[in-house]
Structure 1
Amino acid sequence: MILTVTPNPSLDRSYEVLALKRGEVIRAESERTDPGGKGVNVSRAVAAAGWRTVAVLPLGGAPGALVAELLDAQGIEVAPVPIAGATRSNIALAESDGVLTKINAPGPDVSAAEQELLLETVREQSRDADWIACCGSLPGGLAPSWYADVVLRAHAGGARIALDTSGRALLEALRARPDVVKPNAEELARAVGRPLATVGDALKAAEELRTMGAGAVLASLGADGQLLVEETGAWFGNARVAAVRSNVGAGDSSLAGFLVAGGTGPEALASAVAHGAAAVQLPGSVMPTPADLDPAAVTVTAEIPLDRELTEPAS
């Protein structure tokens, strides 16, 4: 079982449009409403892969009730933590050329009592977990050290932790030594405090995160592929993609693929790349099923292309 923790979940509304023109009325070609938040997406991808998952998340108001209803319809067990504030709603606009515009709301404040209930719910639900995936931004009221506290408590209970967050929350959590962290290129650059122009730059940055406390680093480099750096070695993976429809949740799908494949080594990296590549070819934040995966399109190698320039350099 994979337990996910999403401190700042959302109700995600996705629209496909031909082109985004500022100041004009735009008619959507299609629309979707999905439960959102990085950890929620990981649970959705894990469930789509046929694994059991439990999603721990604070929920409030009508949007929170709809998030729980949508997750239940997808066969995902929900461990809700009731909060006074309303769960946030996000909007994603996907243009026909693959450009994505997102509007993410900040989310409600979480009181001290609600925070403690959230931690206690994680403790209760983690007893049968193979992995705990803690993902996303922190809502108002939660200190940057909150994820570090979760990591310490999880390790005390014998669970492994995968962490996908950024900024100060990531740096604080590294001190608690999470088993895996999953930054994208921009988050990786911010963590080490310098721009990344090549795959080699990203590799060095991932190695630095390991010296700062990460057991392993699964770094998503967007269209350029993914890096896995851990104690036993480093690997680079990428995949052929016919056409990008939406990258919403693609990184979360990658993390799910990595965890269901064991969470270590080149085989897990190949699974992560396959899941991410499948996700970007689906609309909105639809998570891929095994039928959507194309393992033959994936390449994983220990010969990392150090001099390859990143399509979108991170700073």
Structure 2
Amino acid sequence: MIITLTCNPALDKTIELLDPLAHGAVQRAANSHTQAAGKGVNVSRGIAIAGAQTLALLPGATDDPLIAALRGDGLEFKALPIDEPLRTNVTITDPDGTTTKINESGPVLTAEALSALSALVLESAAGAQWVVMAGSLPPGAPADFYAQLTAALRDSLGVNCPKIAVDTSGEPLRQLFAHGPGHVPDLIKPNAEELAELVGSQLTEEQLEADAELAASTCRALLERGAGAVLATLGAHGAVLATGQGAWHGWHQPITARSTVGAGDSSLAGYLLAATSGAAPDQCLGSAIAYGAAAASLPGSTIPAPSDLTVDAVTVLALTPRQGS
């Protein structure tokens, strides 16, 4: 069982344009699609489509359109009732796959609601293999919410605590490393931009995407700060995985991208599906890349099924640390 927590879920409305987006113009849509989403929900969706067990945890009123959509999808979930409506995010996709995203901030969660959401995670996590905390934090949540929940899970469940993965950005990501080692998850999944921000160096997103060995050495620095593993997605350049066993770089043969929405979430789902089946780290990376590439080749926020994967188009190579790194 893989538990996911989405603190700030959203209805994702994706609009595919016939022509490139033009500021101030009136344009026609080729297609549009609305789906219950949020990073954790997307991860759960990918896991469920593959036939594995998952439970999505999130806030939301019983009559909220997002909750109704989840119910219609048949995805297993538990929702903490709140009074405010959940947000809607809009993604505009150009014919060449370029995406423009407009994200609402989401409802404010009170301290009481956040405490109840944490309690829901703690009571649901017993017996799970992984707990995934994914996405932005809603207004009202402290920046170290994920860090504190990670520590609370370990304190509560001890040796029976599931492995913990966190996929977030900005200050919530930095706060994972601002406390003791008990607050650092077993897996983080930054993209190149987030990786550069996290290490606080002069490295740029473009440098990390173009140089897998540089990205790997940056990931190794996070292992030294307590992370169990770092899965860094590098856009069209694939992804890098660093663990205590080594580091690997993998990539997919070129694809025609239709939408990158949900590609990172699909990568995480692919990694977890492989990890829970006992796969080796390089195989987990290959699964992550296959899922991410499949998602990018599908329209809107579509989460891929195993039949959408092109595993044979993925290459994974071990990386050797550079001298002095």
State yes or no: 1:161 paired with 2:164: yes
Question: What is the CA distance between 1:49 and its match in structure 2?
Answer: 1.2
2:2 maps to what in 1?
2
Say whether the 8 Å CA contact 2:255–2:293 is kept in structure 1.
Answer: no
State yes or no: 1:173 paired with 2:180: no
1:208 maps to what in 2?
221
Q: 1:221 to 1:304 in 2, by over 3 A?
A: farther
Question: What is the CA distance between 1:305 and its match in structure 2?
Answer: 11
CA deviation digits over 1:132-182, x for unaligned, max 9?
A: 110011111110111011111222321110110112211222341210000
- Which amino acid counterpart does residue 262 of structure 1 have in structure 2? A
Pairing partner for 1:258 from 260, 263, 271: 271
Query: What CA distance in whole angstroms lies between the structure 1 residues aligned with 2:219 and 2:60?
Result: 34
Unpaired runs of 5+ in structure 1? 307-315
1:187 maps to what in 2?
194
Question: What is the CA distance between 1:69 and its match in structure 2?
Answer: 2.3
Query: What CA distance in whole angstroms lies between the structure 2 residues aligned with 1:286 and 1:49?
Result: 14
Q: 1:127 to 1:15 in 2, by over 3 A?
A: same
2:29 aligned counterpart, secondary structure? coil
Q: 1:19 to 1:112 in 2, by over 3 A?
A: same
1:277 aligned counterpart, secondary structure? helix
2:284 maps to what in 1?
268
Unpaired runs of 5+ in structure 2? none
2:126 aligned counterpart, secondary structure? helix
1:117 maps to what in 2?
116
State yes or no: 1:247 paired with 2:250: no
Say whether the 8 Å CA contact 1:226–1:238 is kept in structure 2.
Answer: yes
Query: What CA distance in whole angstroms lies between the structure 1 residues aligned with 2:232 and 2:61?
Result: 33
Query: What CA distance in whole angstroms lies between the structure 2 residues aligned with 1:126 and 1:72?
Result: 21
2:213 aligned counterpart, secondary structure? helix
Question: What is the CA distance between 1:304 and its match in structure 2?
Answer: 6.6
Question: What is the CA distance between 1:61 and its match in structure 2?
Answer: 8.2
Say whether the 8 Å CA contact 1:47–1:75 is kept in structure 2.
Answer: no
Query: What CA distance in whole angstroms lies between the structure 1 residues aligned with 2:78 and 2:104?
Result: 23
Query: What CA distance in whole angstroms lies between the structure 2 residues aligned with 1:287 and 1:41?
Result: 7
Query: What CA distance in whole angstroms lies between the structure 1 residues aligned with 2:310 and 2:9?
Result: 30
- Which amino acid counterpart does residue 290 of structure 1 have in structure 2? P
- Which amino acid counterpart does residue 317 of structure 2 have in structure 1? T
Sequence identity percentage: 43
State yes or no: 1:282 paired with 2:303: no
Q: 1:52 to 1:61 in 2, by over 3 A?
A: closer
CA deviation digits over 1:259-298, x for unaligned, max 9?
A: 0111661111111011001000001110000110111001
TM-score w.r.t. the length of structure 2 is 0.90
